Amino acid sequence: MSNEMLRAKGLHKSYKMGRSVVRVLRGVSLSAKRGEFLAVMGASGSGKSTLLHLLGALDLPNRGTVEYENRDLFGLPRSARRAYCNRDVGFVFQFYHLLPELNALENVLIARLITHSAGSWMGARRQSRADAGELLERVGLKDRARHRPSELSGGERQRVAIARALVNRPALLLADEPTGNLDAKIGGEIMGLLTELNEAGQTIIMVTHDAQVASRAHRRLQLSDGVMSEGGTDRR
């Protein structure tokens, strides 16, 4: 049985800007194994976020495929792609995307809530709150569960975002510049947390412009002008 979890083949993505067409990805291919920590490096505007959105089925390519567990995601019905986004994948973004009116615990719960109907949520609510609390404790925020984002530091907000990404126990974690909005010390702590998660078995694909951040991954790829190349191996 293959250990490969995700495979992208020949991804092309373009956007229209006025009368111009901007070609962002030009035939990008990559694969990730279960338990791997893969980093995609590239400068701003190289197409890193666009690639991550395609891998997470948040957007559709002009051409190319993404296969998850041997299923062609873009050949699935829209409802199945939505289920993949909500259950199989966790997303961590540079700017956290926390809801300001909710506290840390409630922000984590949001990701679980959207996987339930109104009726099924009533039965799942107690266990979901317990799971969210355990995750906040795991990321070092047990005592900050009732604090809103405005009362948290940047590093704490990113930890809440990571807990939210993990609450549905996704097989794949996609991280878009997870340290890009943090200073070096706090960024190092976030990378330490991601490394711990990976060592516990979490598959992670991360995009970053920072070579030091990328060095924490098992394998590096380089994205430049919409084209992918190998970038080296650092740890196993």
| Structure confidence at residue 217 (pLDDT) | 95
CATH architecture of the domain 4-233 equals 3-Layer(aba) Sandwich (3.40)
* pLDDT average per 10 residues of sequence, the chain (236 residues): 87 92 94 96 90 95 96 95 93 91 95 76 80 93 96 94 94 94 91 95 96 94 91 56
| Structure confidence at residue 233 (pLDDT) | 56
Domain locations in the chain as residue ranges? 4-233
Question: Which pTM was predicted?
Answer: 0.90
| Structure confidence at residue 1 (pLDDT) | 43
Phi first, then psi: what are they for 6, rounded to 5°?
A: -135, 140
| Structure confidence at residue 111 (pLDDT) | 87
- Please check whether residue 164 is in contact with residue 111, taking contact to mean a CB–CB distance below 8 angstroms: yes
| Structure confidence at residue 31 (pLDDT) | 96
| Structure confidence at residue 234 (pLDDT) | 52
User: How long a stretch of residues is the chain?
Assistant: 236
